Structure 1
Amino acid sequence: MDHPDRMPLITPEKRRRGIYILPNLFTTAALFAGFYAIVQAMDHRFETAAVAIFVAMVLDGLDGRIARLTRTQSEFGAEYDSLSDMVSFGAAPALVMYEWALRDLGKLGWAAAFIYCAGAALRLARFNTNIAVVDKRYFQGLPSPAAAALIAGMVWVGIDNDFTGGELSGLACALTIFAGISMVSNVLFWSGKSINLRKSVPFIVLIALVLAFALISSYPPGVLFALFLVYAGSGYVVWALRWKRKYDARNAGGFVPPTTDTAASATAWPEADTTAEAPTPTSDTDAEKDNAGAPPRS
């Protein structure tokens, strides 16, 4: 029996609302790459699993840009992208590292893997709720794709140099915990969003890009791992330099101007704006990036 006075659970407008296929296709491909990495790790094909995580990073970096270019942003795409990131850059790297090197450490091994997995989940949650208070030039905490690259890069380099996981278990445990804690830290990491890709650049920049691709192709495992290791350390180096400047100025009785990076003071997690006009939060990647199927969120 119909009850005209009752509101339907799903309005006809929402029922008829579809999803954009193109950006969500890339998000699905990134999700598949993360799931494939888990399957390969369970079969002890760790090198393939590590490469799959890097493939997921590339796909995750494309979906948001494609959504903007084709004007196909949506709230569904933003949420879907966040869930995909959790699988590809949270669960998959933790499981790959655990199966390769941490299993023999017993409780310490699975605890380290859980710290990483929980750090990725908290990182994504904070990223989606801190949109309004962070400086878009920086990420607050290590982006989850970069953290996943540290894990996958170490596995790839170790296997390529004929190391077993047991031989590097101590270093693997330390790196896994470092990556997990870095994701939930308040350390600022450069986002790269201040780069204007539509702006003309000197010819030497193009030559530098060609040399960079040549360098990566010469030894992909080592170069990629080194690049992300430097990036992970850069935030702590900048933090130490800022702290030293403030410490020296305080001892000298000088005035320390307030920082212009609003993310530096964003220690609280504000409530997410749930109004219809609120900007849709993005996932981690533009590495944390503009999300697939969502307006740019940094």
Structure 2
Amino acid sequence: MSDDVIHDRDADDAEAHEPPRPRRKGIYILPNLFTLAALFGGFYAVVMAMNGSFEQAAIGIFCAAVLDSLDGRVARMTNTQSAFGEQMDSLSDMVSFGAAPALIVYEWALKGLGKPGWIAAFVYCSGAALRLARFNTNIGVVDKRFFQGLPSPAAAALIIGFIWVMDAAGWRDAWNVEWLRWTAFALTLYAGLTMVTNVPFYSFKDVSFKRTVPFIVIVAIALGIAVINIHPPMVLFALFVVYGFSGYAVYAYKRSKGKPVSVIATSTDEPDEAGLHR
């Protein structure tokens, strides 16, 4: 028997024993449309800020936050979750709630502080990147009822909400107003550093839209929409200020009651988990 025949048989046997290659999964359109729309909101906000339209920039970020809250729920409700969607969502969040707010607040006020201003903006931007990376790596071990640190959309809303309120009140050229510059500086540092803490913030992920609710809940939602329409910048900013400090209130309450404050749900015996439970 020739060497060529033996070689062909060996090749056929090797191919027969090769495990079947996994089929490449397609990309689901519906949830990724929401993600792309959220990404556009962040990009639009940066463009508007560059043109001095900070009200439109704020609206862009808040629209991105709403769309970001919907893409995951839509994917779960339609059973269209995918690894591609998860990665796309993280990249969109980094642009819309990391880079965009940092650039907007720098353009609005922090550029008037010189070096401290861009350092504060960078602290916020890097805090958002670190928070998103930690979220992706800890997603399987964190208590789903709570976020580990301030979520990036809420951090962005805290900063952008302040800009929107001040802009609506008629404060222009904030970079040239001393108290506005330093207030924006403090708020930017607070939001950036709180994103990378282990402070628990309620995630609202245990709220199900498939359950029936009492009629009074629908009435309360209608009243809430009416209240927001009274003065959207002020009401939305107030809501996110309350949420932005709520984690520390929960942390202090749990500490005072002797309850565990960590949102990590796994054992502390593993050496790789050192520092996660503090």
TM-score range, shorter chain: 0.7 to 0.9
Answer whether contact 2:200 2:261 (CA < 8 A) is retained.
Answer: no
Which residue in 2 is equivalent to 1:239?
Answer: 251
Q: In 2, Cα distance between the equivalents of 1:17 and 1:190?
A: 33
1:192, CA displacement in angstroms? 1.0
1:266, CA displacement in angstroms? 9.1
Deviations 1:170-229 (CA, angstroms, capped at 9, x unpaired): 110000000000100010001112223322222222211111110001110000000000
Which residue in 2 is equivalent to 1:259?
Answer: 260
1:133, CA displacement in angstroms? 1.9
1:261, CA displacement in angstroms? 5.5
Q: In 2, Cα distance between the equivalents of 1:264 and 1:221?
A: 37
Answer whether contact 1:33 1:56 (CA < 8 A) is retained.
Answer: yes
- Which of 28, 46, 53 pairs up with 2:36? 28
Moved more, 88-97 or 44-53: 44-53
Which residue in 2 is equivalent to 1:229?
Answer: 241
- Inter-CA distance 128–241: structure 2 relative to 1 (3 Å threshold): same
Which residue in 2 is equivalent to 1:112?
Answer: 120
1:259, CA displacement in angstroms? 2.5
Which residue in 1 is equivalent to 2:192?
Answer: 180
1:114, CA displacement in angstroms? 0.4
The root-mean-square deviation of aligned C-alpha atoms, in Å, is: 2.5
Instruction: Give the SS at the match of 1:200.
Output: coil
Q: In 1, Cα distance between the equivalents of 2:164 and 2:271?
A: 35
Aligned 1:1-298 pairs, distance under 5 A: 17-164=25-172, 165-166=174-175, 167=177, 168-246=180-258, 259=260, 262-263=263-264
Q: In 2, Cα distance between the equivalents of 1:20 and 1:263?
A: 31
Answer whether contact 2:147 2:263 (CA < 8 A) is retained.
Answer: no
Instruction: Give the SS at the match of 1:139.
Output: strand
1:262, CA displacement in angstroms? 4.0
1:263, CA displacement in angstroms? 2.9
Q: In 1, Cα distance between the equivalents of 2:100 and 2:271?
A: 26
Q: State the one-letter code of the partner of 1:94.
A: A
Question: TM-score with structure 2 length normalisation?
Answer: 0.84
Consecutive aligned runs of 4 or more in structure 1 exceeding 6 Å deviation: 264-269
Q: State the one-letter code of the partner of 2:235.
A: V
Q: In 2, Cα distance between the equivalents of 1:68 and 1:269?
A: 33
- Inter-CA distance 230–259: structure 2 relative to 1 (3 Å threshold): same
Which residue in 1 is equivalent to 2:4?
Answer: none
1:12, CA displacement in angstroms? 7.5
Moved more, 75-84 or 41-50: 41-50
Q: State the one-letter code of the partner of 2:264.
A: A
More helix by share: 2
Instruction: Give the SS at the match of 2:264.
Output: helix
Q: In 1, Cα distance between the equivalents of 2:182 and 2:225?
A: 32
Moved more, 78-87 or 204-213: 204-213
Instruction: Give the SS at the match of 2:201.
Output: strand
Q: State the one-letter code of the partner of 1:241.
A: Y
- Inter-CA distance 12–262: structure 2 relative to 1 (3 Å threshold): closer
Deviations 1:213-252 (CA, angstroms, capped at 9, x unpaired): 1000111000000000000111111212233344xxxxxx
- Inter-CA distance 143–202: structure 2 relative to 1 (3 Å threshold): same
Question: TM-score with structure 1 length normalisation?
Answer: 0.78
Moved more, 202-211 or 119-128: 202-211
1:26, CA displacement in angstroms? 1.3
Q: Percent sequence identity over matched residues?
A: 60
Answer whether contact 2:255 2:261 (CA < 8 A) is retained.
Answer: no
Which residue in 1 is equivalent to 2:8?
Answer: none
Answer whether contact 1:129 1:269 (CA < 8 A) is retained.
Answer: no
Which one has a bigger Cα radius of gyration? 2
- Inter-CA distance 40–269: structure 2 relative to 1 (3 Å threshold): farther
Answer whether contact 1:138 1:263 (CA < 8 A) is retained.
Answer: no
1:44, CA displacement in angstroms? 1.4
- Inter-CA distance 202–131: structure 2 relative to 1 (3 Å threshold): same
- Inter-CA distance 198–17: structure 2 relative to 1 (3 Å threshold): closer
Q: Which runs of 5+ in 1 are unaligned?
A: 247-257, 272-298
